[in-house]
Amino acid sequence: MARIPLIAGNWKMYLTVAEAVELGRAVAASSKGLKDREVMIAPSFTALAAVIEAVAGSPVKVAAQNVAWEKEGAYTGEISPVMLQDVGASMAILGHSERRHIFGEDNAMVNQRLLGALKFDLTPVLCVGETLEEREQGATFKVVEEQLSQGIKGVGSDRISRVVVAYEPVWAIGTGKTAGKEQAQEVHAFIRKVLAGLYEKKLADEIRILYGGSVKPENVDSLMAQPDIDGALVGGAALQSESFDRIIHYL
């Protein structure tokens, strides 16, 4: 089965509701008629409902930037998968490095979030990636394998192809430093090999692995030309409609 590339914008903690609606409309216009790729945007929680309404009728999928694992309960500050379903979100980013490193989310918590997302029919985008220190210590593969295998723990063969993985080297996020295309491809191929070991090759070949870390109009084409790069998770360059438009229309 051919993997449909996914270009995803993570809007992080930016934009008012009005600004998010304006950008959402621009992304919907950019995505009109696209058949060979999918587009996703992840506004802040406060803008989700308005952005979902703004892109209605377009192929753009709207994601949350995180999700809790229970339907409801005493979890102050969290948003449940049912609440996301209720507003019409269809995907959720999990384990973003900012969640891991600023807010202390560990692999076990990311796993709970991922299982919660799957249980309530949200497509999870599981982020994994090493810090600069870990790369310099030669620990990239070990860290990525741990984050991946622990993140998807408990997901059976019947559901694994619904998971999207995003390789985001922490040293490349928001820094302007992108992993070289061969450097990124090497880790993507490794991720697919780990998945093939945990499931089977056929299933591993169906899973989309996005690259994230300073993806820009200037580097998207060469990254997307790599055989195991199936899309991009874009932060900074997703906040301007012109640059995201060019990224969506990678060659």
The amino acid occupying position 127 is C
**Exposed, middle or buried by CB within 10 Å (0-12, 13-18, 19+), for 182?**
exposed
Helices (H), the chain: 17-31, 48-55, 81-87, 97-102, 107-119, 132-136, 140-151, 181-198, 201-204, 220-224, 241-248
Window contacting ligand PEP (CB under 6 A); options: 102-110, 137-145, 168-176, 222-230: 168-176
233 contributes a contact to ligand PEP by CB under 6 A? yes
State the Cα–Cα distance between residues 128 and 96, nearest whole angstrom. Answer: 7
214 contributes a contact to ligand PEP by CB under 6 A? yes
Tell me which residue of 103, 205, 197 sits closest to 141, measured CA to CA.
197
State the Cα–Cα distance between residues 2 and 174, nearest whole angstrom. Answer: 31
Q: Which of 6, 173, 179, 248 binds ligand PEP (CB under 6 A)?
A: 173
Window contacting ligand PEP (CB under 6 A); options: 83-91, 99-107, 150-158, 230-238: 230-238
Q: Which of 6, 7, 10, 171 binds ligand PEP (CB under 6 A)?
A: 10
What 3-state DSSP class applies to 123? strand
Give me the least distance between CB of 199 and ligand PEP, in Å please: 25
Torsional class of 221: left (φ above 0), alpha (ψ -120 to 50), beta (otherwise): alpha
What amino acid positions are annotated as catalytic residues?
Answer: 96, 168
State the Cα–Cα distance between residues 72 and 180, nearest whole angstrom. Answer: 43
213 contributes a contact to ligand PEP by CB under 6 A? yes
Give me the least distance between CB of 183 and ligand PEP, in Å please: 15
168 contributes a contact to ligand PEP by CB under 6 A? yes
Query: Total residues at the site for ligand PEP (CB under 6 A)?
Result: 14
169 contributes a contact to ligand PEP by CB under 6 A? no
Q: Which of 73, 174, 180, 197 binds ligand PEP (CB under 6 A)?
A: 174
Residue of minimal CB distance from ligand PEP? Answer: 235
Residues that bind ligand PEP (CB under 6 A): 10, 12, 168, 173-174, 212-215, 233-237
